[in-house]
Amino acid sequence: MKKIIYIDLDNTLADYLALAQEMNVEPKDAKRIQGFFAQLQPMPGAIDAYNRLAEHFDVYILSTAPWSNPHSLCEKILWVKQYLPRAYKNVIFSHHKDLNMGDYLIDDSLKNGAANFHGKHIQIHSAAFPTWADVLSYIAKEENIVL
């Protein structure tokens, strides 16, 4: 049985902050803009990292959709279909990430239950894991595999 990895979407797979900055909008306000999530670009190395992890693990995208923008759910699914076409059936939306059972959670935040995840929480963009390369290196070492 394969181990399970959950990966956050906003600012983990998709570059949320860059688009907010480009649009000259505060990040907390950007999530309210219809069409915002459909315009996100992938984070550097994220698509390759997802595909490499999917060769060894059951990988799910675990994202939170803002209550203030009901279109965000659809936009996030469309983003996944565009950049990770085989993953669109592996998308979970939750404001309680700690309720999901798995081995790893890769997320840029500690919010929405990420800090209480029961497996290993890898906080990307932190001092310990500044890039996707660092995340892959850590998991490869932990699991004794080549990624």
Q: Return the half-sphere exposure (C-beta side, CA atoms, 13 A cut-off) of residue 128.
A: 8
- Catalytic site includes residue 48: no
Amino acid at 102: G
Phi-psi region of 100 (alpha: psi -120 to 50; beta: other; left: phi over 0): beta
Question: Among residues 10, 15, 103, 108, which one is catalytic?
Answer: 10
Amino acid at 129: F
Beta-carbon contacts of residue 122 (< 8 Å; ≥ 6 apart) = 104, 105, 106, 107, 129, 135, 138, 139
Question: Among residues 8, 15, 103, 108, which one is catalytic?
Answer: 8
- Catalytic site includes residue 103: no
Q: Catalytic positions, please?
A: 8, 10
